[in-house]
Amino acid sequence: MISLGKKSPSGKPWVMLTAYDALMAKEVEKGGADLILVGDSLGKAILGYEGVEEVTLSDMAHHCKAVVRGRKSIPVIGDLPVNSYEDKPMALASSKKLIEQGVDYVKCEGYIPEIIDHLVQNDIPLIAHLGHTPQKADPTGKVVSANRLQSAKILLEQCLEIEKSGACAIVLEMVSREVAKTITERLSIPTIGIGSGPDTDGQVLVITDMWGESDVNFKFLRKFGDIANEKCIAVKKYCDAVRSSEYPSDEHAFHIKKSEKDIWEGGE
């Protein structure tokens, strides 16, 4: 089983980004990230679904395989989509399907230590996901987790139990900073935060959010680019060039052999 330390190979915090196809995987790896997550966020980010609840195991397998094709050596994590790990046999079968696509880990949401233990016992490298869990979330909006003492204690105990079950790491989403910090200090496996403050062992963002290609505006999100605008500008320039007959020009064309050009143009 592939292990993850509290620090990345560089000795710095882990950097994880989502990717959904071979091109994105190449960009993420070339940019220097440590881990790729093929998240079920692809439903809204790529497939035009309303939410993660529409994403299927076949969707995930297809995109996991594409990402694996694009990466060279960076580890890839595949999300188990909603309704694909409701019991132990289903969870194992679904996990094996993603592993068959070449992913290095699978990730599942929620406090399900018995499922995690079963997968680990069957040699599935597993990353857990606690705190805000989009697959089970209230569709009316995101809710910060563990911002009260009782819920904080429960989350800490759940994380400790999941560590005992054999998870390689835990994603903590929208957990109050103080609680995420304590959990990180108490666990021997790494925590990867999203909206959980700077004290976790690493960070993850949805790539289309990070580079400014979506319209989401979460408090925890910082946009590091404006890819959507750049793409729109490029499309407009292409349209203008074609309509003005500026593109393509002769430099973009291939030619018949010079020795046969006159014959061809003469119609013989």
pLDDT on residue 140: 54
pLDDT on residue 221: 86
What is the chain's mean pLDDT, rounded? 94
Name the stretches of the chain with pLDDT < 50: 1
Torsion of CA 123, 36, 180, 224, to 10 degrees: 180
Q: Is the dihedral of CA 233, 211, 44, 32 positive or negative?
A: positive
pLDDT on residue 1: 47
Q: Are the C-beta atoms of 260 and 254 separated by less than 8 Å?
A: no
pLDDT on residue 215: 79
Q: Are the C-beta atoms of 34 and 19 separated by less than 8 Å?
A: no
Q: What are phi and psi of 110, to 5 degrees?
A: 100, 165
Query: Which domains are present in the chain?
Result: 14-225 (3.20.20.60), 230-266 (no CATH)
260 in catalytic set: no
Q: Token pair for residue 155?
A: 């989350």
Q: Token pair for residue 46?
A: 């790529």
> Which residue among 86, 173, 185, 251 is the active-site one?
173
Short-list 78, 105, 80, 98, CA closest to 19: 78
pLDDT on residue 266: 84
pLDDT on residue 138: 66
pLDDT on residue 37: 98
The SS3 assignment for 197 reads: coil
Query: 98: which residues sit within 8 A by CB, 6+ positions away?
Result: 57, 60, 61, 64, 78, 80, 106
Which residue has tokens 């990353």? 127
Indicate the burial class of 184 (C-beta count within 10 angstroms; 0-12, 13-18, 19 or more): buried
Query: What's the predicted TM-score (pTM) here?
Result: 0.91
